[in-house]
Amino acid sequence: MKTRFAPDRGLSSRMVITSFLLGLLYVAFVGVLIALTRSAVLAVVIAGGMLFVQYWFSDKIALYAMHGRIVTPEEAPELHGTIDRLCALADMPKPRVAIADVDLPNAFATGRNPNNAVVCVTTGIMRRLDQDELEGVLSHELSHVAHRDVAVMTIASFLGVLAGLITRFGLYGGLGRGNRDQNAALVMLTVIAVSVAVYAISFLLTRALSRYRELAADRAGAMLTGRPSTLASALTKISGDIARIPSRDLRQAQAFNAFFFAPAIAGGKSVSALFSTHPSLETRLERLGTLSRELGEQA
214 labeled binding residue: yes
Alpha carbons within 13 angstroms on the beta-carbon side of residue 14 total 20
**264 touches 245 (CB < 8 A):** yes
Distance CA 14, CA 46 (A): 28
Which of these, 109, 286, 277, lies nearest to 208 by C-alpha position? 277
Handedness of CA 266, 272, 278, 283 (dihedral sign): positive
Q: Are strands 107-111 and 68-70 parallel, antiparallel or unpaired?
A: unpaired
Distance CA 52, CA 74 (A): 33
Give every CB contact of residue 81 below 8 A, 6+ residues apart in sequence.
Answer: 73
Tell me how far CA of residue 179 lies from CA of 33, 34, 182, 188, 189, in angstroms. Answer: 19, 20, 6, 9, 10
Per annotation, catalytic residue among 141, 286, 294, 297: 141
**Known active-site residue 141:** yes
Distance CA 230, CA 130 (A): 9
**112 touches 158 (CB < 8 A):** no
Distance CA 207, CA 271 (A): 12
Which of these, 173, 152, 162, 172, lies nearest to 196 by C-alpha position? 162
Active site residues: 141
Known binding-site positions: 140, 144, 214
Known binding-site positions for Zn(2+): 140, 144, 214
